[in-house]
Structures are given as C-alpha cells and as structure tokens.
C-alpha cells in the first residue's frame, strides 16, 4: 500500500485533536508545542504539564520526558501514553493521594504522544501496513516501498550509531535499518532537540510488547552490568519490579542495539532514560484497519480488544511513571512505591 499520512486515516488526527482540546481546556497546566516535522512534513507534538504551564519558562523545574510510538505498530504505547497525560491533567487539583497538584508545582512532565507520526498513520491504511515499524523514509528515492525503505528511529540516535551493527542494520530492507547517518532522521532530531533544550532528569520511551523495564547501556554485550545503581534501584528487581509482572534489566541483556534513544539520552544529555516494553495483549485485533481484522493475526502487536484492558495496562504503569516524576526534584534521593 502507498503511504498517505494526514489524508488516508483519522486516528492520528483524532489523537492530535484529543491532546489539543485537553491543552486548550487546561491552559493553567498544559502547554502544546510543535517540536519538529516528520520525513513527510507532519508535525511532531509535545505537551508540557506543569503549574502555570504558559508563564513558567520551559525547563525551569526538574523535568521528566515520557515519549511513545517510535515504532508505528506499537499502538498500546500510544494509548497508555494518552491515559498518562490525561491522568496528570485530570488530577491537577488533587491534593490527597498522589498529590498531583504538588507534583506539578515542583516538576515539569513532558509528553510526546507519537514520535513516528508518518509510520503510525501508515499502520491504519490496511492489513498490509498494520505491522509497519519504521518511519516512512524513501531511502532509495524511487518512491516508498515496504521492501527497501524506512528507517528504524530507535537505531538512528548518534551515540554508538553503527558501532558494530549488533541489533541494527545497514540494509534499508531490514526492520532495524539505522539510516544514512547518525541522527539523520527528523523524528530523531525532534526528540533530541527537546532533550537538549530541557535537560530532563528521567525519561521513559514506551514500546511493546515484551513486558520489560530496560535501562542503559544496550549497545554492546560488554555492558551487561549497569553503571547506574539509581536506575536499577528505581526499576526494581525480578521479585519486586516497578511495574507489576515486568522484568527489570540492563537493556543489553535483552539484545544489543546500536543507536537507541536511551543510551543516547544518558550519554549525551545525562538523562536517566528507560525503555518500558508494555504488554501488547492477547485479544483479537480490533482494527482501525481499512479491511478489518478478519483472519488477521498480528501476534504480540495485537491491540487489546477492550477499553478495560488498555485501562488496566495504564493503571499498572502509573506507579512507576509517578516514581520518576517524584524523583526528578532530587534524583539522588529517589522516591519509589517499592521502597
Ligand atoms: O528494539 C527496540 O527498539 C526495542 N524493542 S521493540 O520490540 N519495541 O522494538 C527495545 C530497545 C531496547 N534497547 C536495547 N536493547 N539496547
Ligand atoms: Zn518498539
């Protein structure tokens, strides 16, 4: 199928409208921003949630970045991110319990709902594009084709880009094609531009579907031991993980990848950056696909079939999200629901 971002599908437009309306209705705590444009020229959005969002200068308070959907097909990451954002805004006045009111006075929470906007759009075109992962870069200039185009943005970050091509590829046909050069992709530049400008204390980059909490480094097998006891402590251990049922680990333990966002964020900007691999669910695919879900089995990238399941995935992840937000003001003395 041919890509037709911005015209052939509505989910991205609907998502944008959803975030925009919450921003418009809550100008006290939300500021909306365009942080860059995709390969096909679509806007990449970010939302800052903090007290007096529009008067406070960006980055004046300790900040945390939550971003989602580098990989187009990982729809659960988009939906969990949406609910995290909604939760923070909806509870802006809450003093008891999680005390979001106080949290927003002390910290800035930033959300990038969809890093790979073109790719996300593309997964809604039809069955043949539902499992697309990369961006929509026309690598060979001959018109976009699934066979030999697209860059995996999570292999395109400059830190250790092309180091040994472990878990990354120089072949445009490959699912993990790393791009023409370090940071060549505009989606990557948009994320890095925000990282550089704000200087986040923590980051979560949401993916699916391995149920993991991963932390740097992940670029070579020799880095199997983390040099960040703080990140490890916040992630928890196998018996007591920060997200129930997930395995915390150094990311090289999963597999090495040259040029992922977390290694780059830590090494370039000192951001303690996690990959959280959500549970992709096991139910039938509910579509958004033009042809419908009949006899179509996208395996672990299935989108949960009920709002209750998506809500449960969000609920399960909320505590860790809040841990990082609460720890941002003094990372040396982290706050965790685990200890
Ligand atoms: O491969 C990825 O980019 C992530 N997994 S996914 O299945 N969502 O594609 C994990 C990246 C974690 N980083 C390292 N293992 N270095
Ligand atoms: Zn992913």
* Per-residue model confidence (pLDDT) at position 161: 97
Higher pLDDT, 47 or 280: 47
Q: What is the rounded average pLDDT of the residues 41-64?
A: 97
3-state secondary structure of 110: strand
Q: 135: helix, coil or strand?
A: coil
DSSP states of 39-102: TTS-EEEEEEE-TTTTTSPTTSS-EEEEEE-SSTT-HHHHHHHHHHHHHHHHTTT--STT-HHH
pLDDT one-digit tens code per residue, 104-137: 999 999 999 999 999 999 988 887 888 899 999 9
Q: ipTM more than 0.85?
A: yes
Spacing, Cα 171 to ligand 1 middle (Å): 18
CA of 59 to the centre of ligand 2 (A): 27
The token pair that represents 322 in the structure block: 């809040």
- pLDDT on residue 223: 77
Strands 108-112 and 43-49: antiparallel
pLDDT at 6: 64
Please indicate whether residue 81 or residue 253 has the higher confidence score (pLDDT). 81
N-terminal to C-terminal alpha carbon distance within the chain: 50
- Three-state secondary structure call for residue 139: coil
Q: What is the pLDDT of residue 169?
A: 96
For the residues 35-62, what does the mean pLDDT come to?
A: 97
Residues with CB under 5 A from ligand 2 (ion): 71, 207
pLDDT higher than threshold 90 for residue 266: yes
Are the beta carbons of 325 and 107 closer than 8 angstroms?
yes
| Nearest atom, ligand 1, residue 133 CA | 9
- Which residues lie across from 250 on neighbouring strands? 215
Return the pLDDT at 155.
98
| pLDDT at position 30 over 60 | yes
Substitution candidate for ligand 1 out of 166, 254, 301 with most atoms within 8 A of CB? 254
Kindly give the distance from the C-alpha atom of residue 175 to the centroid of ligand 1, in angstroms, as a whole number: 12
List pocket residues of ligand 1, CB cut-off 6 Å: 71, 74, 154, 207, 214, 218, 251-252, 254-257, 260, 275, 277
CA–CA distance, 149 with 140 (Å, rounded to integer): 7
Distance 78 CA to ligand 2 centre (A): 11
Quote the distance between the C-alpha of residue 295 and its chain's center. 29
Percent of the chain surpassing pLDDT 70:
90
Distance (Å) from CA 70 to ligand 2 centroid: 6
Q: pLDDT for 149-207, tens place per residue?
A: 999 999 999 999 999 998 999 999 999 999 999 999 999 999 999 999 999 999 999 99
Mean pLDDT score of the chain: 90
251 CA distance to ligand 1 centroid (A)?
A: 8
Strand duo 236-237 + 247-250: pairing: unpaired
Nearest CA to ligand 1 atom 5: 207
The number of the ligand 1 atom at minimal distance from the alpha carbon of 219 is 16
Amino acid 295: pLDDT: 35
Residues with Cβ within 8 Å of 58's Cβ and at least 6 positions away in sequence, in order, are 31, 48, 108, 197, 198
Q: If you average pLDDT over residues 201-230, what whole number do you get?
A: 90
Protein residue whose Cα sits closest to atom 2 of ligand 1 = 154
């Amino acid at each position: 199928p041919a890509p037709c971002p911005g015209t052939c599908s509505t989910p991205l437009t609907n998502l944008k409208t959803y975030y925009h309306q919450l921003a418009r209705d809550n100008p006290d705590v939300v500021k909306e921003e365009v942080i860059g444009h995709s390969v096909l020229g679509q806007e990449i959005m970010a939302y800052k949630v903090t007290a007096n969002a529009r008067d406070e200068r960006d980055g004046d308070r300790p900040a945390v970045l939550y971003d989602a959907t580098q990989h187009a097909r990982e729809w659960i990451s988009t939906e969990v991110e949406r609910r995290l954002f909604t939760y923070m805004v909806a509870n802006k006045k809450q003093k008891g319990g999680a005390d979001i009111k106080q949290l927003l006075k002390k910290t800035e929470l930033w959300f990038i709902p969809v890093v790979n906007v073109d790719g996300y759009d593309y997964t809604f075109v039809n069955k043949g594009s539902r499992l697309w992962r990369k961006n929509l870069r026309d690598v060979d200039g001959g018109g976009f084709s699934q066979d030999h185009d697209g860059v995996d943005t999570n292999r395109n970050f400059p830190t250790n880009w092309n180091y040994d091509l472990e878990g990354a590829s120089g072949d445009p046909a490959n699912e993990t094609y790393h791009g023409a050069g370090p940071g060549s992709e505009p989606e990557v530049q948009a994320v890095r531009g925000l990282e550089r400008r704000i200087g986040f204390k923590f980051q979560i980059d949401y993916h699916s579907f391995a149920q993991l909490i991963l932390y740097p480094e992940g670029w070579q097998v020799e880095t199997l031991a983390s040099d960040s006891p703080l990140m490890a402590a916040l992630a928890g251990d196998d018996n007591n993980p920060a997200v129930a049922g997930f395995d915390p680990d150094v990311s090289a333990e999963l597999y090495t990848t040259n040029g992922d966002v977390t290694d780059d964020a830590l090494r370039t900007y000192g951001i303690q950056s996690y990959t959280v691999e959500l549970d992709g669910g096991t139910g039938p695919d509910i579509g958004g696909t033009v042809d419908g879900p009949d006899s179509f089995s996208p395996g672990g990238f299935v989108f949960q079939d009920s709002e209750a399941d998506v809500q449960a995935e969000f609920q399960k992840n909320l505590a860790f999200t809040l841990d990082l937000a609460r720890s941002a003001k003094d990372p040396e003395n982290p706050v965790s629901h685990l200890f």
